[in-house]
Amino acid sequence: MIIVHTIQEIRKYVREQRAKGHTIGFVPTMGYLHDGHLSLLRAAKAQCETVVMSIFVNPLQFGPNEDFERYPRDLERDAKMAEQAGCHIIFAPDVNEMYPRSKGSVLTRVEVDEVTVQLCGASRPGHFRGVATVVSKLFNIVQPDQAFFGMKDAQQVAVLQTMVDDLNIPVEIVPCPILREVDGLAMSSRNVFLSADERQQALVLHASLQMAERMVADGVRDVVQLKQAIREQIQTAPLADIDYVEILNFRDLSPIMTIDQPALLALAVRFGQTRLIDNIVLKIR
Amino acid sequence: MIIVHTIQEIRKYVREQRAKGHTIGFVPTMGYLHDGHLSLLRAAKAQCETVVMSIFVNPLQFGPNEDFERYPRDLERDAKMAEQAGCHIIFAPDVNEMYPRSKGSVLTRVEVDEVTVQLCGASRPGHFRGVATVVSKLFNIVQPDQAFFGMKDAQQVAVLQTMVDDLNIPVEIVPCPILREVDGLAMSSRNVFLSADERQQALVLHASLQMAERMVADGVRDVVQLKQAIREQIQTAPLADIDYVEILNFRDLSPIMTIDQPALLALAVRFGQTRLIDNIVLKIR
C-alpha cells in the first residue's frame, strides 16, 4: 500500500490504474479508523479493482466551537489497519493542499437544501456545506466509479446522494451498514473520548433504537409517541444530554407524523464533551 | 454533426470518443449563435479532436424580472452554423432533463464568493450561482478536457476559473477574445432586440472603452477620473441607461484606485429593454 499527500500524486496513481482498465472504489474518511471504516474498504475491495482511501480532517465541516483541533489523528495506525483491509493507496493531504487560498478557507461552496434542514444540519450550521464541498473536491480529484459511506451518518448519505443527483456527478454512492461494538454501541472515532461511565451509559442509544423497533413491530405508528418513549429511555442515563431525537421520511428526510413507509429514526446525544449519533431505519413488515 | 437531447446520449457519445483516444473540447452556450460562439467552436476544434457544444437557456441564472422567456431560441439555425464551424455534436437538453426535481429548481447549488460581489454579480443577484451550478452540471455530464468561454462575460470567466480551482474540477478553462461587429459593437445574442436607434447609440460602449484605453496610454492612472470620463461619454447617447461602469483588478476583480497592473474595465448599459455588457483589459505599456 502507498501513502501520498498531494493531489498531483493521487491523480497520477488513479490515471495509471485507469490505464490498466481498473475500476476505482473510494472511501473518504477523517481517519482514526475503526471497523466501520474497514468494512467500507472491504466493500470497495469486493466491488472495485483499485481501492483508494482519503484521510482528511476537513476544517470546513467543523463549527467554531466544535472538536476540529482535538479530533483524533494517527496516520501510522490508520495505514496499518487500511492495508490489512485491502486498501491500495491512502490520500492524506494537509489543509494547505486542499485549501490553498488560505488555511481552511475556500471561495467556492456546494450547498444542499432541504435534506440539510433537520438533524445534524440544524444542530451544526454549515456542517453539510463543508461536507458537500470537500466531497465534491475529493470526487473531482479521485474520480472514482463508486464511493462508500457508512449509514451511521445517514443524513450525510442523503446529502451526498442529493448532490450527486443534482450536479450529475458521475460517481455511485454506496451506503454501507452501521458497524457496532459487541455491546451495541455504534463504532465511531469519537468513542475514544468517552470515560468508562460515559461509555457504559452510551449503550442507552442502541437500546432505545431497538426499543423503538420493537414498538413499531408491535403496531405503534405515531411518531410523537415513539419519540417520547425514546427520549424517556435515553434520559434513564444521567450523563445523557439529548441534542435531537427525530423520525423522518427515509427517502427525503421530510417530517412525518406516522410510520407508514420506511422512516429514519436518528438521534444525537452528548455524553460529557462527546456528541454521539446513531440511527435505525424503521420499516413496517 | 449530431444533435442529442438527453444526458444519457451525450455521455454515451463522449464515452465513445474517449475510447478512440480523442480529447474533448466543450463550448457551453445558451444558443442563438453569433460569430463569437463560432470563434469558440473554432478554438475548440483547433485544440481538441472532438468538439461538443451545449445549447441550454438556463432558467437558474435568470432573475424573476429578467428575459428568460423572451431570450431568443432557434435550434435549427444554430445547428447549421455550428456544423459549419466544425462542431461534432450539440447537446440541447430541455429544462426537465437538466432540472428533473421540478421545472427550473434544484436542491444543490454551487456558490462562488468574492469574484461575484461586483459587476453583474451585484446587478443580478443569484446570476452567478445559476451559472456556476449549471456549468458544474455540464462539466460533470460532458467531462471535457477544455472548455471555451468568451471574454465578453469576463466576470463569468473569473467565476468559473475560481470554481474550477477551488473544487479541483479537472477541466481547463480557455478564455477567448471578444468578437465585434465591423462597427465595434460586441457580438451578443441580445443585439437582435435592439431597435435601429438603440443599435446605433450602442456604439458608444465600444467607443468609451477605446477612449479609456487611449487615456491610459496617455498616462491617466486614476480610476475615479477614468470612470467619470466613460460615464460622460456613454451619457452622450440619450437612450443609454447605465447599470454599472467599473474598473477592477483583472486577476481577482477586487476594487482598485489606480491602474498599476492589468485592470478590467467592464460596463453594463441598458438600451430600452436590452441590457448590454462589454469590457476591455486596460494594460500599462
* Collapsed DSSP state (helix, strand, coil) of residue B169: coil
Partner-chain contact A140 B113, CB within 8 Å: no
In angstroms, what separates the C-alpha of A41 from chain B's closest C-alpha? 24
Instruction: Tell me how crowded residue A284 is: count the other CB atoms within 10 A of its CB.
Output: 12
The span from the CA of A13 to the CA of B63, in Å, is 44
Residues of chain B with Cβ-Cβ distance to A126 below 8 Å are none
Partner-chain contact B107 A162, CB within 8 Å: yes
Q: What is the ipTM of this complex?
A: 0.93
In angstroms, what separates the C-alpha of B108 from chain A's closest C-alpha? 4
Confidence grade of residue A103 (pLDDT, cut at 50, 70, 90): low
For the cut 60, the answer to whether the pLDDT of residue B194 exceeds it is yes
Q: What is the rounded end-to-end Cα distance, in angstroms, of chain A?
A: 44
Residues of chain A with Cβ-Cβ distance to B158 below 8 Å are none
Contact B183, B203 (CB under 8 A): yes
The span from the CA of A102 to the CA of B260, in Å, is 25
Grid cell for residue A254:
421530510
Asked if the C-beta of B111 comes within 8 angstroms of chain A's C-beta atoms, the answer is yes
In angstroms, what separates the C-alpha of A266 from chain B's closest C-alpha? 22
Quick one: average pLDDT of A140-158?
Answer: 97
For the cut 60, the answer to whether the pLDDT of residue B186 exceeds it is yes
Partner residue facing A108 (CB), from B101, B110, B140? B110
For the cut 70, the answer to whether the pLDDT of residue A190 exceeds it is yes
pLDDT in tens, A17-72: 999 999 999 999 999 999 999 999 999 999 999 999 999 999 999 999 899 999 99
User: B36 labelled as ligand-binding?
Assistant: yes
Q: Which of residues 160-189 of B touch A (CB under 8 A)?
A: 162-163, 166-170
- Of A89, A76, A83, whose CA–CA distance to A38 is shortest? A83
- Of A173, A181, A135, whose CA–CA distance to A276 is shortest? A181
**Positive or negative: CA dihedral A110, A115, A118, A120:** negative
Residues of chain B with Cβ-Cβ distance to A101 below 8 Å are 166
Q: How many CA atoms lie within 13 A of A28 on its CB side?
A: 29
Asked if the C-beta of A140 comes within 8 angstroms of chain B's C-beta atoms, the answer is yes
User: B152 labelled as ligand-binding?
Assistant: yes
pLDDT of residue A186: 97
Asked if the C-beta of A203 comes within 8 angstroms of chain B's C-beta atoms, the answer is no
Q: A2-176 in CATH: which number?
A: 3.40.50.620
The domain limits of chain A are 2-176, 189-279
Strands A263-271, A274-282: parallel, antiparallel or unpaired by DSSP?
antiparallel
H or E segment and range at residue A206: helix A203-217
User: A153 labelled as ligand-binding?
Assistant: yes
Confidence grade of residue B60 (pLDDT, cut at 50, 70, 90): very high
State how far Cα B80 lies from the chain centre.
22
Quick one: average pLDDT of A121-137?
Answer: 95
pLDDT in tens, B61-87: 999 989 999 999 999 999 999 999 999
Partner-chain contact B110 A110, CB within 8 Å: yes
Backbone phi and psi for residue A55, each to the nearest 5 degrees, phi listed first: -125, 110
Grid cell for residue B234:
456613454
In angstroms, what separates the C-alpha of A158 from chain B's closest C-alpha? 12
Q: Which residue has the cell 444543490?
A: B108
pLDDT in tens, B10-21: 999 999 999 999
State how far Cα B262 lies from the chain centre.
20
pLDDT in tens, B171-180: 999 999 999 9
pLDDT of residue B50: 98
Residues of chain B with Cβ-Cβ distance to A113 below 8 Å are 107-109
pLDDT of residue A100: 94
Residues of chain A with Cβ-Cβ distance to B112 below 8 Å are 107-108
For the cut 60, the answer to whether the pLDDT of residue B280 exceeds it is yes
Quick one: average pLDDT of A111-128?
Answer: 92
* Collapsed DSSP state (helix, strand, coil) of residue A174: strand
Quick one: average pLDDT of A181-200?
Answer: 96
A37 as an active site residue: the answer is: yes
Grid cell for residue A285:
413488515
For the cut 80, the answer to whether the pLDDT of residue A102 exceeds it is no
Partner-chain contact A109 B111, CB within 8 Å: yes
Partner-chain contact A109 B114, CB within 8 Å: no
The span from the CA of B207 to the CA of B204, in Å, is 5
User: A145 labelled as ligand-binding?
Assistant: no
The span from the CA of A173 to the CA of A43, in Å, is 12
Q: Which residues of B are catalytic?
A: 37
pLDDT of residue B106: 82
Residues of chain A with Cβ-Cβ distance to B168 below 8 Å are 7, 137, 140-141
Contact B10, B34 (CB under 8 A): no
User: B37 labelled as ligand-binding?
Assistant: yes
pLDDT in tens, B139-164: 999 999 999 999 999 999 999 999 99
For the cut 70, the answer to whether the pLDDT of residue A104 exceeds it is no
Confidence grade of residue B285 (pLDDT, cut at 50, 70, 90): confident
Asked if the C-beta of A6 comes within 8 angstroms of chain B's C-beta atoms, the answer is no
pLDDT of residue B105: 67
For the cut 80, the answer to whether the pLDDT of residue B103 exceeds it is no
Sheet harboring B146-150: ordered strands across?
Answer: B2-4, B89-91, B50-55, B24-29, B146-150, B172-176
Partner-chain contact A143 B170, CB within 8 Å: yes
β-partners of residue A55 are: A29
Range list of β-strands (E), chain B: 2-4, 24-29, 50-55, 89-91, 108-112, 146-150, 172-176, 240-249, 263-271, 274-282
* Candidates A7, A110, A169, A172, partner chain B, best to mutate (most B CBs within 10 A): A110
Class of the domain covering B189-279: alpha beta
Q: State what percent of residues in chain B have pLDDT above 70.
A: 99
What count of CB pairs under 8 Å joins A to B? 72
